[in-house]
Amino acid sequence: MSDGNSLITEIMLDPARGASAFEMARTFANSQLVPRHLQGKVEDCFIALTMAAALRQNPLMVMQNIIVVQGTAGWKAAYVIAMANSSGLLKDRIDWKIERPGGRTEYKRKTKEGMVAASMENMRVTAFATLAGTGSRVEFTVDTAMAIAVGWASNEKNTTMPEVMLRYRAG
């Protein structure tokens, strides 16, 4: 059984396997089950298939969770958290500590119509887990001020469901 990277090498070097993979990509590109940003884009679906092979993941699962921001592939946070939780690298699942010191922070949020006033509950979210190999605790904290400063709060969901959005960023 080959690993994901050698499978990709086989697809790239073997014309028959490459053609087969490209035909599979065409099927995905013509499906309504893939996200709109992949529909009709055979080449993007082909690349997503190679990514799925390298990650040893279901191709549709990869396509459903890949995002593209200014030409760079990224992943939906829920998918990354699920991957980490199922990786075997963590002794336990990622968990969160939520702190609500009170108050709201006012800021300007960029929309299609221009800048609009917005506010976000002041909150601090720490994601944490224990590494299986060492027993060390790993954690990362994000807060409202960080979300606003780096531009995450431009997403309207930060005003309607800030705890979930900060959990995703911390995770």
Q: What is the pLDDT of residues 46-97, one digit of tens each?
A: 999 988 988 889 999 999 999 988 888 899 999 999 999 999 999 999 999 9
The overall average pLDDT reported for the chain is 89
pTM value is 0.79
- Helix H, strand E, coil C: the string for the chain is CCCHHHHHHHHHHCHHHHHHHHHHHHHHHCCCCCCCCCCCCHHHHHHHHHHHHHHCCCHHHHHHHEEEECCEEEECHHHHHHHHHHCCCECCCCEEEEECCCCEEEEEEEECCEEEEEEEECCEEEEEEEECCCCCEEEEEEEHHHHHHCCHHHCCHHHHCHHHHHHHHHC
Query: What is residue 4's predicted lDDT score, i.e. its pLDDT?
Result: 56
Contacts 24+ apart (CB under 8 A), 65-73: 66/35, 66/38, 67/37, 68/37, 68/44
Per-residue pLDDT of 109-150, as tens digits, reads: 888 888 888 889 999 999 999 999 999 999 999 999 999 998
Sign for the CA dihedral angle at 111, 36, 83, 47 comes to: negative
Does residue 23 register a pLDDT over 70? Answer: yes
